[in-house]
Structure 1
Amino acid sequence: MPVRRQQWLAAVTAALALGAVVTAGSAQAAPPHLPRGTQFYVEPDSNAARQAEVYLAEGRTADAELMAAMAAQPQAIWFTTAGADKVRADVRAVVEAARAQHQVPVLVAYFVPYRDCSQWSAGGARSEQEYKEWIDAFAEGIGDHKAVVIVEPDGLALLTSEPWCTIGPDDELVPQRFREISHAVTALKRGKHTKVYLDAGHSAWQALNDYDAGYGEPRQQLGIVNRLRLGNIAEADGFALNTSNYRFTEDLVQYGTRVSKCLYLRERGAESCPSAEELDATRVHPVRMKHFVLDTSRNGRGHYTPGDGETDWCNPPGRGLGERPTANTGIPLVDAFVWTKRPGESDGECQGGPPAGRWWPEQALELARLAEPPLR
């Protein structure tokens, strides 16, 4: 094993050992929940609202009604660009607008270095220090206002150590990623009313336990449970699943429950997660488990089975809006259904889409027409 790789594994092992000590007592109390009556913030001037006006002017009344119904639903506000002063001011403007409406905004921090492994959504801070200053400013923008923050979509599920990611050297950048996200949690939790959820991918992505990635020579990868622990899940309110993806809600609940149970068992000294069957049979009171939120913005018809040259995650056709955003999920561990991904914004230049994040009215209309449950 190369020396640099040995150093990286040693750093990860030491950090996990430290995390076990820090989190040993964290399951004694329930993580904070979002009150059942929480009303999430509805942005008044969204792409969907403007598209409704366009369709109405064109005489497309039914399509305009669909876009207006979509625009009436709360959607997350993403912060993705450089500048500590700018993000502080922009976040503050959103939380103050939400407060004026007696609503709670869902905010997405998306600026970690080497974001998206330099793929369609490439970008982020140029250094660890720049990121820490940016996230500190983000937290200052919230202050003591109420807010829900999704921390770094794919930030833990998509590390630079993934076998197909050419960014490196991963033996330095992976520990850096954990430091950055851990710092984000600590900074954001200084807010008295900030709820923080670490993004953890989705139910068809990372395994719970560490594993051999199996690409050529053996290459160890951390399972999602250890990634969450290194990302400071102990201090966060919970984790987030399915951001910008399409997995069925029931699959996500099953996976999220297993992740939460394994986190609890690891805190109690277990060396690894038991099998899925054993986890399902393990009974742990929800008050002792980490909760999670689900992105249901595009999962009404579940995931897509790709054909040749297609993907199941980048602008798949025939998808629909899912459950409406609410804190009244009826599921003990699920604090909220949220529309983290803003429906109608492209995943990237794939399968006919414009650049990532660009408004795509044809896709928006398809999602609205195929919504399950129906929009109207």
Structure 2
Amino acid sequence: MTNRRCNFAIASILTIGAIYGTTAQAATCEYLVNSEWNTGFTATIKIKNDGNSAINGWQVGWEYTDGSRMTNSWNANVTGTNPYTATNLGWNGNISVGQSAEFGFQGTKGSTGANAQIPTVTGSVCGGGGTPTNHAPVAAAQATPTTGNAPLAVSFSASGSTDADGDALTYSWSFGDGTTGAGVTAAHTYSAAGDYTAVVTVSDGSLTDTASVNIAVTTETGNTPPNAVISSDVRGGKAPVVVAFDASGSSDADNDPLTYSWVFGDGSTGTGPTPSHLFSDPGSYVVTVTVSDGQDSDQASTTITVTDGSSGAARVDNPFRDAVWYVNPEWSAKAAAEPGGASIADINTAVWMDRIAAIEGTSTAMGLRDHLNEALVQGANMFMFVVYDLPNRDCNALASNGELLIAEGGMARYKAEYIDPIAEIVSDPAYQNIRIVAIIEIDSLPNLVTNLDVPACQEANGDDGYREGITYALNALAPIDNVYAYVDAAHSGWLGWDSNFGPAVDLIAGVVTGTDEGWSSIAGFITNTANYTPTVEAYLTNPNLNVGGQPVRSSNFYEWNSYFDEKSYAQEFRNKMIAKGAPSTIGMLIDTGRNGWGGTGRPGSVSSSSDLNTYVNDSRIDRRYHRGNWCNQSGGIGYKPWADPYPGVDAFVWVKPPGESDGVADPDFEQDPDDPAKQHDPMCNPASNNTDNPNVGTGALADAPHAGRWFSKGFQVLLENAYPPLDQPAGPPAQ
């Protein structure tokens, strides 16, 4: 749950560069600095074919020696963490004689105020540069046997993998059935029949390559079972509703003819690959198709939610208004046990469904149904929970890595084992009088705007990626009248630059309008979830105010971002969505649980300095070293949850429960037993520097546990730095 790359746009002020090449080589490779400012730069590498024949595919490399780092790229596949290697995309790999290809990137400088470095561009296509600093390894995978009856024991080897630089290699395996392994050789037993793709990822510590091998596991008869696939034209609606089903995408490796039998969950059955069925009564129905090849079979299921428009609480414009807000007893008990924590222990916080097991709950933790039942006991009619388990979750971070991976069939599990059970629970008529607010997949779509240089985000940008998962979630929840979905919109310090804001609005609006019910599938958007950006920068209200001859937004802290706080960002985000076609009733939420920034460091007035950076640093509420610092900051409890705080803002909310860690501080961490995929992110290390701006520290608190775990020290800091003071009741803020 984090802010990742903080990219920004600035007018080009100069173009300087260096060309490397002679008349003998295939191409000249030119490094151009397009624009630069105190802390960063944008640059382009241009490859011009000066040879006598077309270039079919290219690879170039470069390395910074002054501490500069690349943060974002476009028009090339860029790997490495300095040195960097870039290869062509599918459309720009062929360069005819006399023609050019180019790609661009953005970066941070090694020293504030220094001139942007112009490194040497190397590559076999360039003259005078030789080969790139580092070659990616070449992965190879073998398996013995590749076919057989279940249970089938298979030995894997990647010993044929090579690395041109002679680097030491590491090997990680995904066996295709949800299990993994490591080592140049591995062994695995497939217990069930099916077709599996085992993938090995080979790394030289900087670059990676993958190779795969297919394993066909059959039954004792030697037959390969079919693979069942199910879809429907809608996920439900108001009774009566006709739903068209489709299992024609099912397949059989032996090309056997298939038969289809259906159970619709309401006592009715059907046959054929594409039946339609009328659901007459409200309810949640699990529809199952059994696909048979005559010997073996496979099943697939989906959940259809049918509602009665006349039953339950009426749909409202703002689910937080005039409501009794649920208090999570688990969080409340932890808060009350802390010194001073009782002052906020009776406040609503969101319940996080951050893994499949969280839905059912455990012997020590309440599940989703447990919380909803508790809401009934409390007499609460507003319950807020977080949908947070996309495959490749939080693709540009390590602290909040999830249990599902796209490469391991995670999207199918996300739909069947995560979203469908959630939809089934929240559609239970027992909860129809509760306004159920669903916060949809934090840190997902914003990563597809700014972080496509990260391989996991590139993967999430394609098939089985974030768009598909969020669309499926919204389609599953939209038919349930008392569910109100709010989609993540990051925060001002992430998407506030013009170069990010417009593409983010286009992307997110496109996903929403691509759902079954379009704009009606959501109640609005949420900003600042799990982040620390102030709700209002009280003393910095005009980003274009001139101080020392420069606009405030050009300061080192704001880096030309025009949005200093969440109020201005949220209201403008809403305006842009309305311009895209969203209804005027669309609402915004702002997470204020940790953005109060009180305490002794809070300024009490605007600075009188004529130096721009001094003026900003003395005036700003946000006390972070850098707006990109997101992990366990020394923030403070902010505004208490409240409905209708500003025009267009449905509520202040505490989505990230105060006291829960953002990520583990210790690089030598012990694995989280519940979420073993979570790792250490350098941004959570108090001894490290910001990964995008090495000139500043992370500002992270020491001794923090894994993300989501209780962090007593962090909770105490939030209490100490609360603003407004904790003894003030919730209520409308100063405008």
**TM tier, shorter chain?**
0.7 to 0.9
The two structures have a TM-score, normalised by structure 2, of 0.39
1:86 aligned to which of 360, 375, 382: 360
More strand by share: 2
Q: How far does the alpha carbon of each residue in 1:162-183 deviate from its partner, in whole angstroms, 9 at most, with x for none?
A: 1452326448537721121111
The match for 1:227 is 507
Conserved 8 A contact 1:40-1:325: no
Query: Cα distance, 1:199 vs. partner?
Result: 0.8
What SS class does the counterpart of residue 330 from structure 1 fall into? strand
Conserved 8 A contact 1:80-1:124: no
Indicate the larger mover: 107-116 or 123-132.
123-132
Query: Cα distance, 1:230 vs. partner?
Result: 2.7
Could you tell me how far apart the structure 1 residues matched to 2:320 and 2:353 are? 25
The two structures have a TM-score, normalised by structure 1, of 0.74
Query: Cα distance, 1:75 vs. partner?
Result: 0.8
**Change in 2 beyond 3 A, CA 1:187/1:245:** same
The match for 1:363 is 714
The match for 1:313 is 630
Query: Cα distance, 1:337 vs. partner?
Result: 1.1
**Change in 2 beyond 3 A, CA 1:154/1:169:** closer
**Change in 2 beyond 3 A, CA 1:210/1:105:** same
What SS class does the counterpart of residue 3 from structure 1 fall into? coil
1:167 aligned to which of 456, 463, 474: 456
Conserved 8 A contact 2:459-2:465: no
Unaligned runs of at least 5 residues, structure 1? 7-29, 56-62, 212-220, 269-286
The match for 2:389 is 111
What SS class does the counterpart of residue 78 from structure 1 fall into? strand
Indicate the larger mover: 132-141 or 222-231.
222-231
Could you tell me how far apart the structure 1 residues matched to 2:335 and 2:651 are? 27
1:125 aligned to which of 404, 419, 430: 404
Conserved 8 A contact 1:151-1:196: yes
Query: Cα distance, 1:129 vs. partner?
Result: 1.6
Q: How far does the alpha carbon of each residue in 1:133-158 deviate from its partner, in whole angstroms, 9 at most, with x for none?
A: 21121121111532111011111112
Query: Cα distance, 1:70 vs. partner?
Result: 2.3
Could you tell me how far apart the structure 2 residues matched to 1:253 and 1:172 are? 29
Does structure 1 residue 256 correspond to structure 2 residue 570?
yes
What SS class does the counterpart of residue 129 from structure 1 fall into? helix
**Change in 2 beyond 3 A, CA 1:140/1:171:** closer
Does structure 1 residue 43 correspond to structure 2 residue 328?
yes
Conserved 8 A contact 1:51-1:361: no
Does structure 1 residue 326 correspond to structure 2 residue 642?
yes
Could you tell me how far apart the structure 1 residues matched to 2:529 and 2:423 are? 21
Does structure 1 residue 178 correspond to structure 2 residue 464?
no
Could you tell me how far apart the structure 2 residues matched to 1:72 and 1:4 are? 57
Query: Cα distance, 1:227 vs. partner?
Result: 2.3
Query: Cα distance, 1:132 vs. partner?
Result: 1.6
The match for 1:142 is 426
What SS class does the counterpart of residue 232 from structure 1 fall into? helix
What SS class does the counterpart of residue 231 from structure 1 fall into? helix
What SS class does the counterpart of residue 34 from structure 1 fall into? coil
Does structure 1 residue 204 correspond to structure 2 residue 493?
yes
AA matched with 1:131:
Y
The match for 2:376 is 99
More helix by share: 1
Max radius of gyration: which structure?
2
The match for 2:477 is 188
Could you tell me how far apart the structure 2 residues matched to 1:176 and 1:154 are? 13
Q: How far does the alpha carbon of each residue in 1:304-352 deviate from its partner, in whole angstroms, 9 at most, with x for none?
A: 3217xx96211112x110111122x332311111100011111112231
1:341 aligned to which of 646, 656, 666: 656
Q: How far does the alpha carbon of each residue in 1:47-67 deviate from its partner, in whole angstroms, 9 at most, with x for none?
A: x524644x5xxxxxxx2xx21
Conserved 8 A contact 1:160-1:173: no
What SS class does the counterpart of residue 705 from structure 2 fall into? coil
Conserved 8 A contact 1:40-1:326: no
Conserved 8 A contact 1:209-1:226: no
AA matched with 1:331:
Y
Query: Cα distance, 1:39 vs. partner?
Result: 2.0
Compute the RMSD of aligned alpha carbons: 3.0
Query: Cα distance, 1:5 vs. partner?
Result: 9.3
Q: How far does the alpha carbon of each residue in 1:346-366 deviate from its partner, in whole angstroms, 9 at most, with x for none?
A: 111223122111111111011
AA matched with 1:304:
R
Could you tell me how far apart the structure 2 residues matched to 1:291 and 1:80 are? 24
Could you tell me how far apart the structure 2 residues matched to 1:249 and 1:43 are? 24
Indicate the larger mover: 231-240 or 72-81.
231-240
What SS class does the counterpart of residue 579 from structure 2 fall into? helix
Could you tell me how far apart the structure 2 residues matched to 1:168 and 1:249 are? 29
Could you tell me how far apart the structure 1 residues matched to 2:401 and 2:342 are? 31
Indicate the larger mover: 127-136 or 164-173.
164-173
Query: Cα distance, 1:224 vs. partner?
Result: 1.7
Query: Cα distance, 1:4 vs. partner?
Result: 7.4
AA matched with 2:374:
A
What SS class does the counterpart of residue 572 from structure 2 fall into? helix
Conserved 8 A contact 1:347-1:355: yes
Q: How far does the alpha carbon of each residue in 1:175-230 deviate from its partner, in whole angstroms, 9 at most, with x for none?
A: 7211211111121122221111001101111257666xxxxxxxxx9722122213
Could you tell me how far apart the structure 1 residues matched to 2:720 and 2:533 are? 19
Query: Cα distance, 1:131 vs. partner?
Result: 1.3
Query: Cα distance, 1:232 vs. partner?
Result: 1.2
Q: How far does the alpha carbon of each residue in 1:224-245 deviate from its partner, in whole angstroms, 9 at most, with x for none?
A: 2122213316221100110000
Conserved 8 A contact 1:304-1:316: no
Conserved 8 A contact 2:327-2:346: yes
**Change in 2 beyond 3 A, CA 1:195/1:72:** same
Conserved 8 A contact 2:392-2:457: no
What SS class does the counterpart of residue 249 from structure 1 fall into? coil
What SS class does the counterpart of residue 337 from structure 1 fall into? strand
Could you tell me how far apart the structure 2 residues matched to 1:35 and 1:186 are? 22
The match for 1:3 is 90
Could you tell me how far apart the structure 2 residues matched to 1:101 and 1:83 are? 25
Conserved 8 A contact 2:358-2:367: no
**Change in 2 beyond 3 A, CA 1:102/1:5:** farther
What SS class does the counterpart of residue 141 from structure 1 fall into? helix
Unaligned runs of at least 5 residues, structure 2? 1-74, 76-88, 94-314, 514-518, 537-564, 598-620, 665-683, 685-699, 728-735
Could you tell me how far apart the structure 2 residues matched to 1:194 and 1:208 are? 32
